[in-house]
Amino acid sequence: MQQNDQQQPTDILPLSIVVPCFNEETGIKELVRRCCGSALSAVGEGYELILVDDGSTDGTWAAITAEIAHRANVVAIKLSRNYGHQVALTAGLAAVRGRVVFVLDADLQDPPELLGAMLEAMRESRADVVYGQRRSRAGDSWFKTTTASLFYRLLEISTDILIPVDAGDFRLMSRRISDIVAQMPERDRFIRGMIASVGFKQIPFPYDRQQRYAGSTKYPLSKMIRFAADAFLGFSMALLRFSSLAAFGLLLALIGVAIYSIYAWASLEVVPGWTSIMISIIVVSLFQLIALSVIGEYVGRIYLSTKNRPLFIIDAIERGTTQ
């Protein structure tokens, strides 16, 4: 985001393509060939292909710079270390000069050739975002497909924002959307959710996810868990509200137990002291649950404020004209 201040990119191009790359040396040449071919037939020469090297430890940077040597449309950004996919993507979005921004992965699981049809869909429906929605996931393991599907559905029921299911970061978006997202200062980024939160017209584009062209996944289980945590913690207060829900759910049960212990004390044989212990436990636990839910609610609000997301975004303002 600092880059934005330094570079002040000017809007001059019809299209920017942004690709985060982490240890993708074997696929770069093919990636560039297919992206450039697709962009050329969709918009002519007026495009840029921004490749962000996210602190790769293999020959990715060398492969990218080798492309720059003979392709004027390629822009290379090298990050100082590995920041992770979502931050690398943000670095690319902060540097775009195009009026429309196309985002895809470096491994060619999302076919660059769909660009033309997605541009057409954007134009036809006057949408600000055309997001790829996976009909099938050829290259992914059973484990990945199942956990991803579960993840999207759980997220869907636990947030207020409509984050589309089975959609990754593969998408076409207008410059206003990419600028807003690049400027959002939050650190643990879940970009597809952030884009959904911006609003405007966003439409799905069904496609079949391909096999990885080369190399292996750069999202091991640890990164997938981190990513899922960013999504849930960043877009849902469900976990913080757990104690409120528990208090609400247990309220009737605990009151029932309290009544029973008083009844048992009055008319059944109980060990002396049992009733008073039961009542104290119930009162204290209820008090703790309620106190935790109040604190949770405050913490949630503070957390959301620190994200500094725009309070609202205006699509258009129209004024009546005087005669």
Which stretches of the chain bind ligand UDP, using CB under 6 A?
20-22, 24, 54, 82, 84-85, 88, 105-107, 109, 217-219
CB of 27 to Mg ion, least distance (A): 10
In the structure encoding, which two tokens stand for residue 18, read together? 């942004």
Name which of 128 and 230 has its Cβ closer to Mg ion: 230
Binding partner selected for residue 24 from Mg ion, ligand UDP, none, CB under the kind-specific 5 to 8 Å limit: ligand UDP
CA gap 289, 100 in Å, rounded: 49
Binding partner selected for residue 209 from Mg ion, ligand UDP, none, CB under the kind-specific 5 to 8 Å limit: none
Name which of 24 and 166 has its Cβ closer to ligand UDP: 24
Let me know: does 213 contact 31? Beta carbons within 8 Å. Answer: yes
CB of 64 to ligand UDP, least distance (A): 12
Count the residues of the shown chain that bind Mg ion, applying the rule CB under 5 A.
Answer: 3
Residue with tokens 């009546």: 320
Name which of 142 and 312 has its Cβ closer to ligand UDP: 142
Residue with tokens 């990419």: 178
Half-sphere exposure of 45 (CA within 13 A, CB side): 2
Name which of 53 and 105 has its Cβ closer to Mg ion: 105
Would you give the DSSP letter of residue 321?
Answer: P
Name which of 114 and 278 has its Cβ closer to Mg ion: 114
C-alpha dihedral over 236, 238, 241, 247, to 10 degrees? 170
In the structure encoding, which two tokens stand for residue 240, read together? 């913080």
CB of 216 to Mg ion, least distance (A): 9
Does 23 help bind Mg ion (rule: CB under 5 A)? Answer: no
CB of 137 to ligand UDP, least distance (A): 9
CB of 152 to ligand UDP, least distance (A): 13
CB of 277 to Mg ion, least distance (A): 57
CA gap 169, 107 in Å, rounded: 13
Binding partner selected for residue 285 from Mg ion, ligand UDP, none, CB under the kind-specific 5 to 8 Å limit: none
First to last CA, the chain: 45
Instruction: Give the x/- contact pattern for Mg ion in 95-124, rule: CB under 5 A.
Output: ----------x-x-x---------------
3-class state of residue 97 by DSSP: coil
Residue with tokens 């491994």: 107
Binding partner selected for residue 88 from Mg ion, ligand UDP, none, CB under the kind-specific 5 to 8 Å limit: ligand UDP
Binding partner selected for residue 159 from Mg ion, ligand UDP, none, CB under the kind-specific 5 to 8 Å limit: none
CB of 96 to ligand UDP, least distance (A): 16
CA gap 210, 139 in Å, rounded: 6
Does 54 help bind Mg ion (rule: CB under 5 A)? Answer: no
Name which of 8 and 222 has its Cβ closer to ligand UDP: 222
Residues with Cβ within 8 Å of 253's Cβ and at least 6 positions away in sequence, in order, are: none
Binding partner selected for residue 234 from ligand UDP, Mg ion, none, CB under the kind-specific 5 to 8 Å limit: none
Would you give the DSSP letter of residue 4?
Answer: H
Phi-psi domain of 19 (left: phi exceeds 0; alpha: psi -120 through 50; beta: other):
beta
Binding partner selected for residue 85 from Mg ion, ligand UDP, none, CB under the kind-specific 5 to 8 Å limit: ligand UDP
Let me know: does 15 contact 100? Beta carbons within 8 Å. Answer: yes
CB of 246 to ligand UDP, least distance (A): 34
3-class state of residue 205 by DSSP: strand
Neighbours of 144 (CB within 10 A): 15
Residues making contact with Mg ion (CB under 5 A) = 105, 107, 109
